[in-house]
């Protein structure tokens, strides 16, 4: 009986196949193995910060609502209540743990933040969190959760957090630029004790530079100035319009200035990063 000839694979062929299999296994392993100690990404701003004139032009060109729309006191009050109800569930308190390896490890600060994505991404203040260390956030439900710093924007003094577990709500970011004189509300945890506190004011100016606070922070350009009361602990909380949209992230306020050795009271001088500048922090193009 005629036997079929067996095909032989050269030994070199087995070696090549083995190398390919090992390479594929390593590649797949790298993709599915999570980082156990993720390092925050630091934002680099490639674009020039918009000038005040550019922001005013954007505000005038983009804003859809009519200036002639007038509200009674009762109507405005109702809109404010509705706006707070829409955003407050997404507002968080943020606390840096006492053993965190931060620039000021002995300084336990409580700040604010706001959830912007259903995956648990939230924005908070770099002054509160530092760029490293363990963070605890308190949700609007009163529950606590751990959070990790994902991205740091030193120029704007903000961070992007990843909260562990489920989150109760997500705030909407405004797509239209605010206007000087527009009514705004600030929500946060002033003094570290009064969560979801609401204060009201108006946008005083756009595209301004926030001065250094007590000499321990850099100046921040291209921000909003408003007069809604913000105290220590409000940093990182949302500044919202009457449509219940986040128009900015609060940086804090200036309470006194020093001129020629004399303290001068500065009232109603609060600042917020406008949504238009948050692109690099939240992973969108500038």
Domain boundaries, the chain: 52-62+73-89+171-282, 91-163
What is the spatial distance between Cα 236 and Cα 245, in angstroms, rounded to a whole number? 15
Q: 52-62+73-89+171-282: what fold?
A: Thrombin, subunit H (2.40.10)
The answer to whether domain 52-62+73-89+171-282 and domain 91-163 are alike in fold is: yes
Among the listed residues 4, 126, 80, 46, the one whose alpha carbon sits nearest the alpha carbon of residue 240: 80
Beta-carbon contacts of residue 52 (< 8 Å; ≥ 6 apart)? 205, 206, 207, 208
> Does the pTM of the predicted model rise above 0.85?
no
Longest dimension (CA), the chain: 113
Number of H helices, E strands in the chain: 5, 16
Virtual torsion, Cα 248, 149, 164, 26, nearest 10 deg? 130
CA torsion through residues 185, 94, 193, 100, sign: negative
Reported as a single tens digit per residue, the pLDDT across 134-193 is 899 999 999 999 999 999 999 999 999 999 999 999 999 999 989 999 999 999 998 877
Burial of 114 (0-12, 13-18, 19+ CB in 10 A): buried
- Which pLDDT tens digit goes with each residue over 93-149? 999 865 545 455 445 678 999 999 999 999 999 989 998 878 999 999 999 999 999
Could you please state the CATH topology (level 3) that the domain comprising 91-163 is classified under: Thrombin, subunit H (2.40.10)
């Amino acid at each position: 009986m005629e036997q079929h000839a067996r095909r032989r694979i050269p030994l070199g062929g087995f070696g090549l196949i083995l190398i390919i299999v090992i390479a594929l296994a390593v590649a797949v392993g790298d993709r599915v193995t999570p980082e156990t100690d993720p390092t925050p990404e630091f934002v680099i701003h490639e674009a020039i910060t918009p000038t005040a004139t550019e922001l005013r032009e954007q505000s005038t060109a983009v804003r859809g609502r009519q200036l002639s729309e007038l509200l009674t006191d009762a109507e405005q009050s109702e809109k404010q209540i509705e706006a707070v109800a829409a955003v407050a569930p997404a507002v968080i308190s943020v606390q840096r743990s006492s053993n965190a390896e931060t620039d000021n490890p002995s300084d336990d600060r409580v700040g604010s933040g706001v959830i912007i994505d259903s995956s648990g991404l939230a924005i908070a203040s770099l002054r509160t969190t530092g760029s490293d260390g363990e963070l605890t956030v308190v949700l609007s439900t009163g529950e606590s959760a751990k959070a990790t710093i994902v991205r740091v924007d030193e120029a704007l003094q903000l961070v992007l957090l990843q909260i562990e577990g489920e989150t109760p709500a997500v705030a909407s970011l405004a797509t239209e630029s605010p206007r000087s004189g527009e009514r705004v509300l600030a929500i946060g945890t002033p003094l570290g004790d009064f969560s979801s506190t609401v204060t009201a004011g108006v946008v005083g100016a756009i595209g301004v530079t926030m001065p250094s606070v007590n000499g321990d922070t850099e100046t921040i350009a291209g921000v909003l100035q408003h007069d809604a009361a913000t105290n220590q602990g409000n940093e990182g909380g949302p500044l919202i319009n009457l449509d219940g949209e986040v128009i900015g992230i609060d940086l804090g306020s200036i309470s006194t200035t020093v001129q020629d050795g004399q303290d001068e009271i500065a009232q109603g001088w609060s600042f917020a990063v406008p949504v238009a500048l948050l692109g690099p922090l939240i992973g969108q193009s500038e």
